[in-house]
Each structure stands twice: as structure tokens, then as C-alpha cells.
A and B are shown apart, each in its own frame.
Chain A
């Protein structure tokens, strides 16, 4: 693979950096403080085609690559992890499974509006009793004539309440275990579908994380996504893609904390010298920079394989595992370098440290990533 950016990617990087710096960064502290979903930012992203980067132009997308999409999540997360995850959940967890599993009618119906950002997408797999063990789905879907009837609930759903389209997983035949899970497309406003409580979180506080409730929720039969009983495999495959998105987010958070720390340690003087002149600072920062670069290569390689159609499941797991743990380490040390100021909300590293934690948890905890990687090793 080529490690340098293509000309298009370089141009894309210029655009997304400027966008992140001018449009996203100024709001980061505010949406965190107010726990407010950045509706205005999503509208601006939509105008530029950022909500449909890897979607083909025939479905109204920008026709870009997954590498570009990853760069977008990284650069947005570098200044605001909330904005990064809004894009990641929308693209990886909703657009991608519809693009990869939808019928032509479904693609025509959903993708242009999702890619243009008119609609926001979400994904509902996790349940109170089915987290890492996603096979323990309790939400049920029963076919009643021309309609599916869904009953149950989902939790921790990113973009919940702001999304218009949800890819939802439910048991269609409990006796078949994971082979009895199917995927569905649920729209905002479908009868019997409602948004439950909104979580109050440690980090990514501007991102809406809610419960989804299905009470005799009736949707047309043609909302089934992919084949009957293939839901679990769709979910797993979707999460493989999602993981590179989260890996990009983690990478962005880590980079953002590096940026802030480099700036601060150059400015801050103690004992008559800049912090950056102390060898302790230099060595620790050198180690962190090395890890961030290593994470970037893992993330890029996983995106590249996805673009090329090469299996990337373990690559995605490694990218996410390493990037998330790097983000946690870098942000923790960034706060330490900032000392007392770092613990306050005057400097963004405090927020970055809170934001980093989730990357070790959602779309598969670090433990799940290790299971996936080990699974490939010992198969």
C-alpha cells in the first residue's frame, strides 16, 4: 500500500481541517457543556457532502473513499469527538449496511437522503441484556400479513432522537439463536416507535445517546434489510466497518490532545524553562507521538483494505483496540502535562480525556477487539 496521501486526499485533508478548525472547534466546549446535539454543524457538513463521503454518486453520495471518510472522522474528532461520532454512526452504522445489504428500492429510497444529510442515520443492536453478547437479542419481530411487528427496546443508541432512519436488529426466530436475528429499517414516526430516556454521559456529551422503544411497532414488510435470519452477520459486518470509524475517532482525539500539549508545553514556563525543554516532556511526548503514528497506520491500513474489498475484520479490531488505548493514554498524559489547568475546562484536554474513554467501550469493547483478533489467530 501507499503511505502517502493521494492528491485528492491531500485536498480533502485541507478542506476538512479548515472546516474542523473554523466550524467545529469553536462549538466543541459549548456542546459538551450543554450536552447539546450539534444540529447546525450537521447541516453544514451536509452541504459539503460530508454525510455521504463513501456513498457512490449514483445514490447521491460524494463517491469518495473510506480513507477519506476516516480522515473526516479523525479531523473532526481532533477538535470535537462528539461531531466525529455523529458522522461515524451515521455513515458506518446506517448508510453502510443499507448500501451493502439493501435492495435497489431500499438504496434508492434511503441513501440519497442519508448521503445528502437531509436524514441522519442510526443503528440499534445493543439491549439491556445484550451488549457484548449481542446474540442475546430480546427485541422480537413477527410478520403479520404485510407488516412486521416489533416489540422490545434498544439502549445506548447514538444519534437517537435526531436520526430519521434506524437500522434495527430483532429476533425473528428465537429457536435459531444468532441465525434467528434479522435486520430492519425503522423510520422516525413509525407507529409504535418512540425514543426513551437520554443518557447523561462522561464524554461525547453532545452526542445523543438514547433508548429506543418498540411497542407493537408496525413497519411494512419491505423494510426487512438483507435476508431473513442474516441479521447477526449484517450486524457483525457493520460493526467491523464501524470500528474503523471509531478507531479514526480515537486517533483524532489522541492527535487533538497531542496538538494541545505541544502548544501548552512550549508556552508554559516553570523553573525558567518551557516545559517542552525538559527531557521528561520530550521523552514522554516522543513515545506518545510514536503510538499515535502507529495507530494512524493501522487505521489507514484497515480503511484501505475496506476500499479494496480485502477482508479487514481483524485489521479493524486491531486499529480500534490500539487507537482507543492510545487515545486514553495520550489524553491522560495530556491532562498531566497541563497540571492544574488541565483538570479545568479552560483547556480542552479535560474534555478530550473524558471523550477518549468511550472509544474503549462502544462498537465492541477493547476486550471484544481482543476476542476478534485472537479468533483470527487461533481459528
Chain B
């Protein structure tokens, strides 16, 4: 393998039902940065059925070229046809770097592609960079051991250097409608016999109602300061806006305001969400024991001496009954 034959940064532009996934745009943002560091191009691989109109969005977010593979076999994601398509693109174009979102689709596709092409694949990277020394090494950093350790991975002698990338970590570029790029349609020689070994019976979309608060990524949690069921409705609105769940301290469970299954703490559940928003929770030790490992803790409490502030990343001394509805409204406006 002559490494110098391989160039450009390829991004798998994941779409579902004709809708580009956010992670695809995030990856383009990062790919732009990596490609610029090596004076290379950003190439988006857009696979699906009737998806060509999405190409312009990809260009606006940083792609120099979009390779469109439009085929009935690619309508719903299936491991084999997608692997065949990507493999043919690799063989014909020799990418240096290939980024795939670490979604259930990307984490299925990535390893299959890497094994077919006998190259390395880094999983769930949270940081990607080109070293600023002469080597211009591509360094992929990822958490391991349950997030206790970070490891920087290299793929020195194989190409493409593949990585799946955790959604929500990279920054997408602001869309620039004036950007121009090339759109190339690619024909794939599918091996249908291999593809037919797996039959898709159906795809079902469901609104996931996470009632297990320990599984929720975002928790808006209420304590004595919330006061009542009505108070919790305000928290519920905020949780809905953030795509999270409502949880509670013991006090509100004992008062019969919240159900026991939503209780955080010593006698409830231990949670570790990406965001724990503690509203009107003073933070008794048995509550802290159940949530202090949350990644981001924001606390709102009237009492500036409340122990919850000692574990919070951001503490607000104030009235949750005013702040929470205002915040919900603000987030709603931002989304519109």
C-alpha cells in the first residue's frame, strides 16, 4: 500500500428517511478542519434513495464534493449494501481519512467496512486532530474503560484511517448557501446474492418514553422547592423541551407528588445523565450520592447555602418558579 496515494477526508453522510442526521453535519465541520490542515478535500458520501437534494446541504456545511449513491437497495440502512457501496468508493477513490457517526448505523457499518478493507477503525472518537509536527499524523482520541481513561489512537500503515465519532461532540459549520461543490453520482456494482442474505421485515419508529430515569440522558429534577404537582408540570415542560425526563428527590416522593420510580438518591436510583438540572433540591447527602457523577449539574435554589451548590457546575441562587418557565420559553424560541 502506497500511503501517498490516499488523500482527502471522507464523511459518511448518514440520513434516515431522507433526513440528514445532525452528526453528518458535525462530521463535515470537523472534516473541513482536518482537510484544511492537509490541504485536502472534504468528500461526503450520501447513500440512500431519492436523496440527491440533500447534497446541497452537505456542501453548505463544508463538503467540497458529494458522492451520491441513489439506489433502491439503499432506501433503508442495511449492513451489506451500504458496506458494498462504501467499499467500492474506497477502492476507486483511496480516501485518507473516513469519518462515520457513532450511531447504531455507523457502529454497524464501520467495523464491517474496516474489516472488508483490512484497515483500522477507532470507535466513538471525541477528539480528532492532525498533529502539528512534520508527520501530520491523524490522531483519534476516544474514551475507554467506561470513560475513566482517554486513549489517542493512530492508524499508521493502513488506509483509510477510519473513525466513528460520537454524536454531539463536533461542531458543525454554520450553513453557507454560497459555498459551491461538486456532486458526483456513483454507480455501484451490487452483489445482490450477498445482500439478500438479510431480509428487512420492517422498520418501526417509536417515541421512546424513558421511564427508567437511570437511562435518561437529561434529567430535570425537583425537590421540596418545587412544592406541588403544578410545580412539577413546569419541570415537565422544561424536560420535554430538552428531550429529557423528570426526576425527583425523596421529599417529593414521600409527599406523594412524584412516583417512587423517579426518585434519585440513596433510597432511589443512582443516575449519571449528561445533564442533571436540580431545581429546588437542597442536596441532602442521600440525594447527592445518587447524582453527583452526572456530567453536567446545574442547580437552582433559593438558599445560597444549599449543599447542592457544592457539586454543581453552575449554581443559580434564585426562584425556580420564575427561572424554569422563562428558560423553557427561551429554549422553545431558540428552536423555532
| Residues of A participating in the B interface, judged by any CB pair closer than 8 Å | 267-269, 341, 346-347
| Bound-state Cα–Cα, A264 to B285, Å | 9
Interface residues of B in 63-80 (CB under 8 A from A): none
Please determine whether A268 and B267 come into contact, CB atoms closer than 8 angstroms: no
Looking at A268, A269, A346, A347, the one whose CB has the most chain B CB atoms below 10 A away is A346
B289 at interface, CB cutoff 8 A? yes
B266 at interface, CB cutoff 8 A? yes
Hey, which chain A residues are within 8 Å of B286, CB to CB? 341, 346
| Bound-state Cα–Cα, A347 to B285, Å | 12
Please determine whether A346 and B285 come into contact, CB atoms closer than 8 angstroms: no
Please determine whether B267 and A267 come into contact, CB atoms closer than 8 angstroms: no
| Bound-state Cα–Cα, A346 to B254, Å | 11
Produce 1/0 per residue, B289-316, CB < 8 A to A. Answer: 1000000000000000000000000000
Interface residues of B in 242-295 (CB under 8 A from A): 250, 266-267, 285-286, 288-289
The number of residue pairs between A and B whose CB atoms lie closer than 8 Å in the complex comes to 11
What are 11 of the A-B contact pairs (CB < 8 Å)?
A: A267-B285, A267-B288, A267-B289, A268-B285, A269-B285, A341-B286, A346-B250, A346-B266, A346-B267, A346-B286, A347-B266
Chain B: interface residue total (CB-CB under 8 A): 7
- B288 to chain A: closest residue by CB: A267
Hey, which chain B residues are within 8 Å of A268, CB to CB? 285
What distance in Å separates the Cβ of B272 from its nearest Cβ neighbour in chain A?
Answer: 16
Hey, which chain A residues are within 8 Å of B250, CB to CB? 346
| Bound-state Cα–Cα, A267 to B283, Å | 13
What distance in Å separates the Cβ of B287 from its nearest Cβ neighbour in chain A?
Answer: 11
Hey, which chain A residues are within 8 Å of B285, CB to CB? 267-269
Hey, which chain A residues are within 8 Å of B267, CB to CB? 346
| Bound-state Cα–Cα, A23 to B36, Å | 56
| Bound-state Cα–Cα, A269 to B310, Å | 12
Hey, which chain B residues are within 8 Å of A269, CB to CB? 285
| Bound-state Cα–Cα, A268 to B286, Å | 9
| Bound-state Cα–Cα, A70 to B103, Å | 48
9 additional contacts (CB under 8 A) given A346-B266, A346-B267 = A267-B285, A267-B288, A267-B289, A268-B285, A269-B285, A341-B286, A346-B250, A346-B286, A347-B266
What distance in Å separates the Cβ of B206 from its nearest Cβ neighbour in chain A?
Answer: 28
- B310 to chain A: closest residue by CB: A269
| Bound-state Cα–Cα, A346 to B289, Å | 14
What distance in Å separates the Cβ of A352 from its nearest Cβ neighbour in chain B?
Answer: 15
- B286 to chain A: closest residue by CB: A346
The 10 closest A-B pairs by CB, nearest first: A267-B289, A268-B285, A267-B285, A346-B267, A346-B286, A346-B266, A347-B266, A269-B285, A341-B286, A346-B250
Interface residues of B in 214-259 (CB under 8 A from A): 250
| Bound-state Cα–Cα, A268 to B287, Å | 12
Hey, which chain A residues are within 8 Å of B289, CB to CB? 267
| Bound-state Cα–Cα, A350 to B266, Å | 15
